[in-house]
Chain A
Amino acid sequence: MADTIIELPLQGSDNVLEIDCSQLPEQSNELCDILIQEEAPLKFYLQLAVEYYRQHQADEAISMLKMGLANVKVPDPIEKVPLINCLAAIYLQKARRARHNPLQVAAVGSATTAADDAAASERDQYLELATALFNEADRIDSQQPLTWLGKGTLYWLRRQSDLALDQFRGALEQDPHNIAAKFGVARIQFHSKKYREALASYQELLRYRPAHVPDPRLGIGLCFYKLGMIKEAKHAFERAIQVNPQELSARVLLAIMYFNEFKTQLVKSGQPNTPILEIGMDYLKSAVTLNQRHPVVSDLLADYFFTRQDPANSLAFACSGIINADTPAIEAESHYQAARNYHRLEDYERAFDHYQRAVKLNATHHLARFGLGQVLLHRQKLPEALALFEQFVEMHPTCIEAWNMLGAIHARLPSHQAQALQAFDRVLQLVATDSANEALANDPGLFIDMGKTYEQTNLAQALKAYEKAIALYSQHPPDTESTSRVPVELYNNVGALHHALHNYDTAATFYEKAQPSSTAEKTPMAYTVMYNLARLREYQRRPGEAQELYRQIMAAHPAYLDAYLRLGVIAQESGQAPNAEGWYLDAQDIDGQAVLPQVLTGLLQVDRKQLRPARHTLERVLKDCDRHELYSLVAIGNIYLKTARNEPQKELRIKLYQRAIEFFDTVLGRDSKNLYAAQGVGIALAERGAYSDAGVIFNHVREACGDALPMVTLNLGHVAMEQGLYRNAIYLYETCLRKASQFTPSNRVFQQVFSKELFMSLSRAHYVMGKTDKNPQSMRHALTQAQKASALDPTDLATLYDIALIEQTFAQLVSEKSADFRSTSDVRKAIAHLEHSKRLFEFLVKQPSAPAANGTSTGAKPGPFAALPYDKKLTEQRVNFSESLLSKLKKHLEEQQKLETARESTIEATRRKREEDRLRRQAEEVEREQAQAEERRLVEEERQRLQEKVRQEMQELSQTAAADSDDDAKRKSKGKKKSRPRNREHVGNEDEDGFASGGDNDHHDDDAAGGEAIPKRKRTAKPRLRRRKVLQEGGDLVSGGGLEDEGDDEQSATNGEEHTPRKKYKSKAFVESDDDSS
């Protein structure tokens, strides 16, 4: 171009003005002025405009042409036509480029759509300008092929290929050798997928212009390619390069072809064919040397760098592709390349934009569509993602990945479980049925995805998917070293799932597999696996091994907080509280802001009954770290419950319960399903006497948590007790006991902490019921349960007191029984128990007020209860009552023995009488048979002699026989007769004696004795009153926690309803929290 010099003849002289096109002025105005001054003909304007255009100064070219058209007067407007066409062509070009504004690329991000709209309207503007110009040209000369060509291009740009084709065909009719028109036709044929016709057109072009640029061979090659004639296509491209070594497109196309071939082979055989890849790379490289900015080259390079995990370069080329792309398809590809890079860099915002643009530019870019769906899923836009993939599988019903994604989306949507399963089923079905999918189905990643999805909803299913993935990894031949190794993460996940499903041994083997073989190559992942294994060892009850693992983790990572915490929890669980505290403090030193170490410290303090410091610790967590820390809130609520329970002042107590409820309410406000808080509210209500409300809450909690919180069943039992539903209470306690002994990790701690209380509660329920029903058998049950409690803690005085009380009451009930309903051995048993009970009461009376056994013990017994858990005076009265009852029972024993002797002799007499009867009957029988035989003999004799009298005789005889049998029946009915109870009054007398002796010292609780004193009529008339009394007497039993002190109870007899029952409701939040915190 540099040597192009335009000679402009100067007006009125022979001189010419030489315009050096390499030095065109920046502004075209100068030149225009000269041209106008010199009245230059139109062609100069055109020439100069073309020069400007060539030098990428399209705007100057436009103004040049406009000046020419405006200023030059021509005789025939036809001369204007080339200028008009040129101007229109430039507009077309501008319209085409309207999308490729680099600024717009930079602005990708938030303003995407705005930029898009701007570009679209700009494009439309140019197309309109061009249209107007073509119309003008048409008006001047409707037979101008140049115009037709331009219009063809215009329609082409407007995607109106039929109209474009008409234009090009028109141009060809005028001039059958119009190369441009021919190209246009060929191109349209190609794009409307008429490859054979297009091929013919290109081949014709080649015949006319073997050296034309662009080379028709490219078109020929593309047609061959589309027609599946790969070899011919390659040949065409190679020939194009031979003809013109500068040929870029052919190289790019060849590169793509080789790349595709490589991919197809890889998918089919699983073997990478590197020579093919290298040929492709060579073509690409040569293309790059020719033109780095070719959009397709850019896309290919972007793709190449993407696979090489070089996002910086890949993105640079993708952007360059976007800027330089000349067709929507190529631009879409560039956007796709950019998007997948951002996707991998987890810049989902940008990835989303680029995917979206790619899809917009090329609706059939499936990979971009897929990526868009993935990003939507990642951004939790589930309905959008769902719609997208549903559409996707409609288009590609056998695309396994799409079905898999669909499954993943369904699995995340509430109540789409069934659809999720359907989708995954489809995946498995496709894998199973279509051998073409085998390569895809062998992708373990697919199953990892599936497993991840199921992890949220169905552990067993997730496990299956992961195991399939492992199987696939292991199937890979060992020589492909990168893929044959199962990723440790996968083993770890499978281990964790087995762990969660309580398959501990299996979990251990998987964790061990996930461990690197030598210690040298330990990655951070290895320590995660180690930590998991250590947690598993805890579940497997191998705390020693767990501790060793935690120590190893700490040695390598001194700031691994969880290791410290677990060591602390293990120490705490094995009763080494100071040790545990040490670990928690260490953890706090490492990270003063971490919540968990502080919370655990607080819970440990609760465990050690240091309620005040515990509350301070936990309040600090709320104040400094997290105002809504749930563990702390629940724990503080529970601390208030405990404090309230020990608060003697009623008003203050109610205030404390209120405070507890406030904390639990805060928790429930944050987490409406928090069972611990709900249970806390239930406890506070129960403690305040609102038993039915408490019962409702406990029942809700129990329904919600199943067996996870055995504590709530215990509390329900307590509520049932308070409501007088003893049988129900017993059922609940027994359920709870059964659960506790089932020994799952969740109730392990429960068993240890609450076994004794459970036995005590069960004992108390049987006791109260036995007293109500006057049933010694219930008392026996009560005794058994109390003994079980005592076996766990033999020095617990409260339990000993209960045993003594139950034994005494048992003896009393036996003594009250009517003699017919007991035996001597019952009475003997009652005496044995009574004697033992007396000894126990005597022993209890002798106990010092602050017993050493309680005070100095390990903390198993809390300090605040140093006082005796029973009232000494009352115990003394019990001793006295024992004495009177004993003498009574001894009398009973004598009488019972007499009675039994009498009864035995009665039985003997009856037996003897029966025997006599039997013998007599036998004798009668014999007699009668003899009589009958005699009669028969007589009849026989008569029959022979008096034949006609026989019938009469016979009738008479049978009547006698019937009378005989009636007699028989009467005799038989004379059977045994029950002997009536003989001494009801006597028993009553005995009782009054007993009451008199007991009554002296027993103004209060001596229930049964007092009960007997009340005339029977009155008692039945007021069942309600009686029940209430019994309920209070229930407090008689010192329960496991030793909380009901009898002193209170006694006072309550005078204070009426003042007494608040103080059952020991406990929350398991403390106990269990460590399990949950992990």
Chain B
Amino acid sequence: MFTATHEVEKAHDDGIWCVAWAKGANLVVTGSVDETIKCWNGDTGDLVRTLKGHCLGVNAVDADATGRRLLSTSLDHSMILWNLDTGEQVTRIQTNPVETWGAQLAPEGDIIAAGSQTGDVNLWSVETGGKIQVLKTSGDFSMAIAYSPNGKYVACGSKAGAIDIFDVEMGKLIHSLHGHSMAIRTLAFSPDSAQLYSGSDDHRVQVYDVQHGETIATFSGHGSWVLSVASHGDGTHVASGSADRTIKLWDVRARQCVDTLTHHTDQVWGLAFNAKSNQLVSVSEDKSVRWYKAVV
């Protein structure tokens, strides 16, 4: 169970689309349609820094395993790698339109996985800014991508509702899952990389066994699109945020909803846990960032 602790009401000028908890720097990083990225003190919620560099809305932020590097992508179809300690741009990669969607950083911070209009997933080298590998998907546009914490897998979820899991090293598709009937908006791996969580426009959250490609659980309860999922550090819980304005916490083993948070007044676009998973942060179209802490 989580309880709300504090919030920043007008954190951005407009809806907030994405959030990441950069663990090393202990920063909560938020990206908004107002074109800015803001870094907040993970504990106090004080604004630490505002990052400017995109000329359109920021639709994804993702930190590497160290929590000192941050990838941001925008509707301006550029990807920027930031040094979180200094707030400087490390690299900026300009791509073709629609080639940055759902971009995710490898845990090592060296590779970026991002979808493309053809549906294939491109792997970009951070160093050179060039494409190094193409993962051929089952065809449709990838709305959501996830890099596994062990760096071994990339999962992508399509507009049509299919999920493909790739073994990155082998560059090979290992599972194609068809549990959802509508667009996949969000994907996340469990900390041990053994499970994959997905959220879809069909209002459901699903849990898969990565190795065997089987569905472990299906959670219905949201009343609208599921826009974000975040995996809890204990490997048995997953949080989901929805266009129905609620956040739900699911117990994967018990296969049930254990908590519902209803503080936001518009759709919940993003969720992130801190390193210990005893804190949760959420961002919403209502322009606010909200912090919650675990209560036992």
Interface residue tally for chain A (C-beta within 8 Å): 37
- A840 x B97 contact (CB < 8 A): yes
B76 at the interface (CB under 8 A from A): yes
Given contacts A743-B245, A788-B15, contact A794 B57 (CB under 8 A): no
- A544 x B218 contact (CB < 8 A): yes
- B244 x A541 contact (CB < 8 A): yes
B222 cross-chain contacts in A, Cβ below 8 A: 541
Mark out the residues of chain B between 99 and 138 whose CB falls within 8 Å of any chain A CB in the assembled complex. Answer: 101, 117-119
Given contacts A541-B220, A752-B225, A836-B56, contact A575 B117 (CB under 8 A): no
- B interface majority secondary structure: loop
Interface-lining segment among B19-27, B146-154, B186-194, B201-209: B201-209
A574 at the interface (CB under 8 A from B): yes
B14 at the interface (CB under 8 A from A): yes
- A784 x B57 contact (CB < 8 A): yes
Interface-lining segment among A11-19, A309-317, A853-861, A1045-1053: A853-861
Least CB distance, B61 to chain A, in whole angstroms: 14
Beyond A544-B219, A575-B161, A853-B117, 17 additional contacts (C-beta under 8 Å) are A575-B181, A576-B202, A741-B245, A752-B225, A784-B14, A784-B33, A791-B59, A791-B75, A794-B101, A836-B55, A836-B77, A852-B118, A857-B160, A858-B160, A858-B161, A858-B183, A860-B159
A interface list, Cβ under 8 A from B = 541-544, 573-576, 741, 743, 745, 748, 751-752, 783-784, 787-788, 790-791, 794-795, 800, 803, 829, 832-833, 836, 839-840, 843, 852-853, 856-858, 860
A787 cross-chain contacts in B, Cβ below 8 A: 33, 56-57, 75
B141 cross-chain contacts in A, Cβ below 8 A: 794-795, 853, 857
Least CB distance, A538 to chain B, in whole angstroms: 10
Least CB distance, A893 to chain B, in whole angstroms: 15
Least CB distance, A1074 to chain B, in whole angstroms: 15
Least CB distance, B167 to chain A, in whole angstroms: 26
A/B interface sample: 28 pairs, CB < 8 A: A541-B220, A543-B220, A544-B219, A574-B181, A576-B202, A741-B265, A743-B224, A743-B243, A752-B224, A784-B34, A784-B57, A787-B33, A787-B75, A788-B15, A788-B33, A791-B33, A791-B57, A794-B101, A794-B141, A829-B55, A836-B56, A843-B97, A853-B117, A853-B119, A853-B141, A856-B140, A858-B159, A858-B182
Bound-state Cα–Cα, A783 to B56, Å: 9
Bound-state Cα–Cα, A832 to B143, Å: 26
Interface string of B229-243 (1 = CB under 8 A from A): 000000000000001
B266 cross-chain contacts in A, Cβ below 8 A: 741
Given contacts A541-B223, A542-B220, A751-B224, contact A794 B201 (CB under 8 A): no
Bound-state Cα–Cα, A576 to B183, Å: 12
- A576 x B56 contact (CB < 8 A): no
B285 at the interface (CB under 8 A from A): yes
- B75 x A790 contact (CB < 8 A): yes
B44 at the interface (CB under 8 A from A): no
B279 at the interface (CB under 8 A from A): no
Closest to A783 in B: B56
A543 cross-chain contacts in B, Cβ below 8 A: 203, 220
Q: How many A-B residue pairs have CB under 8 A?
A: 111
Least CB distance, B198 to chain A, in whole angstroms: 14
B139 at the interface (CB under 8 A from A): yes
- A795 x B117 contact (CB < 8 A): yes
Least CB distance, A940 to chain B, in whole angstroms: 66
B267 at the interface (CB under 8 A from A): yes
B140 cross-chain contacts in A, Cβ below 8 A: 853, 856-858
A857 cross-chain contacts in B, Cβ below 8 A: 140-141, 159-160
User: Which residue of B33, B101, B203, B244 contacts A743 across the interface (Cβ within 8 Å)?
Assistant: B244
A741 cross-chain contacts in B, Cβ below 8 A: 245, 265-267, 285
Most buried by B among A751, A783, A787, A833: A787
Least CB distance, B135 to chain A, in whole angstroms: 18
- A791 x B17 contact (CB < 8 A): yes
- B56 x A541 contact (CB < 8 A): no
A748 cross-chain contacts in B, Cβ below 8 A: 223-224, 244
- A794 x B98 contact (CB < 8 A): yes
Closest to A545 in B: B220
B223 cross-chain contacts in A, Cβ below 8 A: 541, 743, 745, 748
Bound-state Cα–Cα, A576 to B201, Å: 12
Bound-state Cα–Cα, A825 to B118, Å: 36
B221 at the interface (CB under 8 A from A): yes
Given contacts A743-B244, A748-B224, A791-B59, contact A803 B75 (CB under 8 A): yes
Interface residue tally for chain B (C-beta within 8 Å): 48
- A574 x B182 contact (CB < 8 A): yes
Bound-state Cα–Cα, A839 to B202, Å: 34
Mark out the residues of chain B between 67 and 117 whose CB falls within 8 Å of any chain A CB in the assembled complex. Answer: 75-77, 96-98, 101, 117
Bound-state Cα–Cα, A856 to B15, Å: 31
Most buried by B among A542, A743, A788, A832: A743
B221 cross-chain contacts in A, Cβ below 8 A: 541-542, 544
Least CB distance, B130 to chain A, in whole angstroms: 18
Mark out the residues of chain B between 139 and 183 whose CB falls within 8 Å of any chain A CB in the assembled complex. Answer: 139-141, 143, 159-161, 181-183
Given contacts A543-B220, A752-B224, A794-B141, contact A800 B203 (CB under 8 A): no
Interface string of B241-279 (1 = CB under 8 A from A): 001110000000000000000000111000000000000
Least CB distance, B37 to chain A, in whole angstroms: 15
Least CB distance, B270 to chain A, in whole angstroms: 12
Least CB distance, B288 to chain A, in whole angstroms: 14
Given contacts A791-B17, A836-B55, contact A843 B96 (CB under 8 A): yes
Bound-state Cα–Cα, A574 to B219, Å: 13
Bound-state Cα–Cα, A752 to B225, Å: 8
Least CB distance, B40 to chain A, in whole angstroms: 22
Least CB distance, A988 to chain B, in whole angstroms: 29
User: Which residue of A743, A791, A795, A860 contacts B98 across the interface (Cβ within 8 Å)?
Assistant: A795
Given contacts A836-B56, A843-B97, A853-B117, contact A575 B33 (CB under 8 A): no
Least CB distance, B72 to chain A, in whole angstroms: 15
A784 cross-chain contacts in B, Cβ below 8 A: 14, 33-34, 57
A829 cross-chain contacts in B, Cβ below 8 A: 55
A853 cross-chain contacts in B, Cβ below 8 A: 117, 119, 140-141
Closest to B162 in A: A858
In the A-B complex, the 7 residue pairs with the smallest Cβ-Cβ separation, listed nearest first, are A541-B223, A575-B181, A575-B182, A832-B55, A544-B220, A574-B202, A843-B97
Closest to B118 in A: A852
A803 cross-chain contacts in B, Cβ below 8 A: 56, 75
Least CB distance, B216 to chain A, in whole angstroms: 15
Bound-state Cα–Cα, A573 to B225, Å: 11
Bound-state Cα–Cα, A947 to B97, Å: 98
Closest to B181 in A: A575
- A839 x B97 contact (CB < 8 A): yes
Bound-state Cα–Cα, A623 to B22, Å: 65
Least CB distance, A540 to chain B, in whole angstroms: 8
Closest to B203 in A: A574
A832 cross-chain contacts in B, Cβ below 8 A: 55, 76
Least CB distance, A696 to chain B, in whole angstroms: 33
Bound-state Cα–Cα, A784 to B57, Å: 8
Bound-state Cα–Cα, A697 to B106, Å: 56
Bound-state Cα–Cα, A403 to B108, Å: 81
User: Which residue of A542, A743, A794 contacts B143 across the interface (Cβ within 8 Å)?
Assistant: A794
Bound-state Cα–Cα, A573 to B266, Å: 21
Bound-state Cα–Cα, A743 to B223, Å: 9
Closest to B243 in A: A751
Bound-state Cα–Cα, A544 to B267, Å: 22
Least CB distance, B243 to chain A, in whole angstroms: 7
- A836 x B224 contact (CB < 8 A): no
B161 cross-chain contacts in A, Cβ below 8 A: 575, 858
Closest to B202 in A: A574
- A800 x B97 contact (CB < 8 A): yes
User: Which residue of B77, B117, B119, B139 contacts A839 across the interface (Cβ within 8 Å)?
Assistant: B77
Most buried by A among B59, B76, B119, B201: B76
- B220 x A836 contact (CB < 8 A): no
Bound-state Cα–Cα, A800 to B141, Å: 15
